[in-house]
Structure 1
């Protein structure tokens, strides 16, 4: 048991990564508290409008469409640690200003939209830098474990943040929660400053050509990268809209308050944390079948959650849904990160962030609108159906590319067998 735990948390033996993870868990708890606070604030100001909730979510993620590739270019060209310091300082300033306006009673709905957009700009530039920075803190053999632990840190924050936010919003209001988040940004700043630069695994020379177009061409030549990117575009855009779908479920279906919304989000994040820890045992690049299988399971479970008859049934079903939510995201992330050349990592990860988070502003307003017109449960089952169909389509395309035929022999009994071509296609190799 002790050996298994040591293997699960192996990357924490590295001082720089330990500092990074410590700062992230504090700031991410605060950030998730702020997300819940902003979502609830928008519902209160808009009269429980699902469209307004979808709009504020779209504004937060719209900059990803425009700026994430720029963030990837910056990550490949400049010092990632310094870029992260600047990003956290900007978050600290913006959250302090927003908290001041909300607490003083000066904030209106359009103020929330503006600050959501500004926070989204910083997030669009910071995320690809942070994702690619993990590879500089640990040696290559520890990278799968470090990526999984980063996801576990993220989901530990998703458990603690919403649970704490729900109670604090009920007691003190959304402004206090946003103020706490502003203070939390001091933690990653201190931890980044404490890192030892000489212990980072940096490339000896920076790439001379960091054009975005080169990164796009590199990815276009790699079908093994395109498959997880395409899957995460669909699943991220239609299936991962839980701040909208669970908020509507709590407030309009189960007729409860912010603390119940926090419980639903916490149950989802608890399952996600287990999924992240399960992914941490992986020591090699996951196959495309792992990615597709996890996507299919997530789609099925999200459909089941959509038709939960009671609040507690929804809570229980959100546990396995959260597990496969992070399992598919981690498998796709690791398949991309562990298959890309180091000089392209920042730009390819920016593309991953673009399709994963950038699809949110495209679909979030639609999910919010469907929640009002079709029903508050529709966002969940539509997202589930989309994820399941995406996985099935990816499997069919992969079989066709590899010239694999599926036949059913009904005699003497039903039997499914795969017929491979005489000359099998060579295994995918990173360029």
Structure 2
């Protein structure tokens, strides 16, 4: 049970298995997308992740889900996480004309945000109705559907052939990296996003605990929590696009981060104690 320390510890380990391979996968995604047709890369990613997800209901039908299997599935998912996150934006310029690129990017972001709202809420509802194994079957089927749609794209999404002028010598690459590390804004922003991702990983652990111990509804509450997260991301993206922070874009992030820290720092008061 998630309310017990052992269950919460296993959930934390599951989150580590999901998040830790993302770095390694991110290093591999760029060369894959640069070398192979993006349709095949995206389809292969979807097939592999769908097979990983389907392994749990298959094992349940056969009699018993091995204890280590959910952790292996989480690690597989994390390793491949960056494939669609990098592959979708990289494929858009090959699919639309230059004058429609901004609109296509906006539609991709909108679709991603809407799916992030609908998916968790629907999963939470289905968990309470049909059970976890059946929900994972639907999840695996959605991966198979995406693989089919990726392969149905008729236009090749092959890699760009670099010209001689585009090739970078090793020494120039090292000098460029040193220059990036001296960029205070870039380094500060990177560290800030790393810290934010650490906090988001923690929320992946505390979310199920809240749904289990503090909120009614169990899986449905967890689905609504994740859907609310996507709603906030969508609203925040729209607000960021509508506002004009001028030259101080980094400072403009501070109020939102302060609000995040303030709201997550509030805990339920025990009898006779103040909230703090």
| Fold in common (TM above 0.5) | yes
2:121 to 160, 163, 167: 163
1:50 to 1, 4, 8: 8
Partner of 1:307: 266
Contact 2:45/2:80 (<8 A) preserved: yes
Deviation at 1:113, TM superposition (A): 0.8
Measured in 1, the distance between the counterparts of 2:48 and 2:92 equals 21
Partner of 1:272: 233
Question: Is 2:59 aligned against 1:98?
Answer: no
Contact 2:35/2:159 (<8 A) preserved: no
2:248 to 283, 289, 299: 289
Measured in 2, the distance between the counterparts of 1:160 and 1:247 equals 18
Contact 1:139/1:201 (<8 A) preserved: no
Give the total of aligned pairs.
267
Three-state SS of the structure 2 residue aligned to 1:89 is: helix
2:92 to 114, 134, 137: 134
Contact 2:37/2:158 (<8 A) preserved: no
Measured in 2, the distance between the counterparts of 1:210 and 1:63 equals 28
Partner of 2:272: none
Deviation at 1:59, TM superposition (A): 0.5
Measured in 1, the distance between the counterparts of 2:100 and 2:214 equals 45
Partner of 1:229: 190
Measured in 2, the distance between the counterparts of 1:156 and 1:212 equals 42
Deviation at 1:263, TM superposition (A): 1.8
Three-state SS of the structure 2 residue aligned to 1:107 is: coil
Measured in 1, the distance between the counterparts of 2:168 and 2:47 equals 26
Partner of 1:246: 207
Deviation >6 Å, runs of 4+: 210-216
Measured in 2, the distance between the counterparts of 1:203 and 1:280 equals 30
Deviation at 1:192, TM superposition (A): 1.8
Partner of 1:150: 108
Partner of 1:197: 155
Deviations, residues 33-54 of structure 1 (Å, cap 9, x unaligned): xxxxxxxxx849x877222112
Measured in 2, the distance between the counterparts of 1:173 and 1:68 equals 33
Change in CA separation of 1:116 and 1:210 when aligned onto 2, cut-off 3 Å: farther
1:175 to 113, 124, 133: 133
Measured in 2, the distance between the counterparts of 1:210 and 1:70 equals 19
Change in CA separation of 1:217 and 1:49 when aligned onto 2, cut-off 3 Å: farther
Question: Is 2:22 aligned against 1:64?
Answer: yes
Contact 2:117/2:227 (<8 A) preserved: yes
Within 5 A, what are the aligned runs for 1:363-382?
Answer: none
Deviation at 1:101, TM superposition (A): 1.6
- CA-based RMSD of the aligned residues comes to 3.7
Change in CA separation of 1:139 and 1:241 when aligned onto 2, cut-off 3 Å: farther
Measured in 1, the distance between the counterparts of 2:108 and 2:83 equals 18
Contact 1:73/1:210 (<8 A) preserved: no
Deviations, residues 1-37 of structure 1 (Å, cap 9, x unaligned): xxxxxxxxxxxxxxxxxxxxxxxxxxxxxxxxxxxxx
Deviations, residues 186-239 of structure 1 (Å, cap 9, x unaligned): 3322322232426x6974547875899976764542435444322211111224
Change in CA separation of 1:245 and 1:144 when aligned onto 2, cut-off 3 Å: farther
Measured in 2, the distance between the counterparts of 1:99 and 1:231 equals 38
Partner of 1:184: 142
Measured in 2, the distance between the counterparts of 1:43 and 1:97 equals 23
Change in CA separation of 1:206 and 1:103 when aligned onto 2, cut-off 3 Å: farther
Three-state SS of the structure 2 residue aligned to 1:109 is: coil
5+ residue gaps, structure 1, are 1-41, 311-376, 382-431
Contact 1:73/1:212 (<8 A) preserved: no
